[in-house]
Structure 1
Amino acid sequence: MHLVPEDRAHRRAIDEHTVCDAIAGIAEPETVRGWAARFSLLSDPNRLSVLMAVHRAGPIAVTDLALATGINETAVSQILRLLRVSGTVAAEKDGRIVRYRLVDAETAGLLESIPVLRQVV
């Protein structure tokens, strides 16, 4: 069991090859923490709605995001502040209007995998 860390080497495995495959499938701790933080951002329905809207229509203003998502402007602004701090979205000034766009490629890839089935009336 060449991939098992020394501090766990004394423990018994049922299938050593499977254990090594599992260890090989786990990213470095820093990468795991990064993905966990990304999934945490996506775990809130309002944040996910804002992200999906920005991904699809960005660059987009807070007012337009509030209208599109049904979330009040103050809440949208708070969500965008969190997403900016995390490096997920970026703000672009357009005169007096600030528009937001998705800048995190990994998050964009995840959002691409979400099926969006909406009937337009």
Structure 2
Amino acid sequence: MGQVVAQPVDPERVAHARERLLSRDDAARLSSILSLLADPTRTRVIYALDLAEELCVGDIALTLDLGEDAVGYALRILRTAGMVTRRKEGRTVYYRLADGFPEPLRAHCLRRLIEISDGSDAADDDD
């Protein structure tokens, strides 16, 4: 038996979506970034660095009320992913968001999604 090809209900919208759809590679990269943000500690570290521009591990730990080991582990993962960079001044290592850290991710994902998730944003429709 041959494969039956389904016909779309709305061919124009299907064509529109297909033209703009993420490639599989882009979707994989996006999923990777979002999985990094799925961890609350890593998200809070990124948020703190966005607010303070640069902090050492101890100061991040104090800011987030976490242990230095947990912060260090989160920073290691974020640094490996290229989301944060570090610089050394004497014996102190300072971390900051990487120069290429996408501003839309900071502005929309970190700030706007917090607003939406806490219910301070009105629903667009009542579906």
User: In which range does the TM-score fall when normalised by the shorter chain?
Assistant: 0.7 to 0.9
2 CA distance for matches of 1:102 and 1:80? Answer: 10
Change (3 A) 1:9 1:81: farther
2:94 is aligned with what amino acid?
A: R
In the comparison of the two structures, how many residue pairs are matched?
A: 109
Question: Which of 98, 101, 106 is the matching residue for 1:105?
Answer: 101
TM-score normalised according to structure 1 size? 0.80
Structure 1 gaps of 5+ residues are 1-7
1:35 is aligned with what amino acid?
A: L
Cα displacement string for residues 9-64 of structure 1 (whole angstroms, at most 9, x for unaligned residues): 92221111111111123222221111111111111111111110011112210000
2 CA distance for matches of 1:41 and 1:88? Answer: 10
SS in 2 for 1:87: coil
Residue 5 of structure 1 is matched in structure 2 by none
Trace 1:1-121 onto structure 2 (pairs within 5 A): 10-103=5-98, 104-106=100-102, 108-113=103-108, 114-115=111-112
User: Where does structure 1 differ by over 3 angstroms across 4 or more consecutive aligned residues?
Assistant: none
1:61 is aligned with what amino acid?
A: C
Structure 2 gaps of 5+ residues are 116-127
SS in 1 for 2:95: strand
After superposition, the CA RMSD in angstroms is 2.1
TM-score normalised according to structure 2 size? 0.77
SS in 1 for 2:42: helix
Change (3 A) 1:9 1:90: farther
Task: Give % identity.
Answer: 30
- Compute the displacement of 1:89 (Å): 0.5
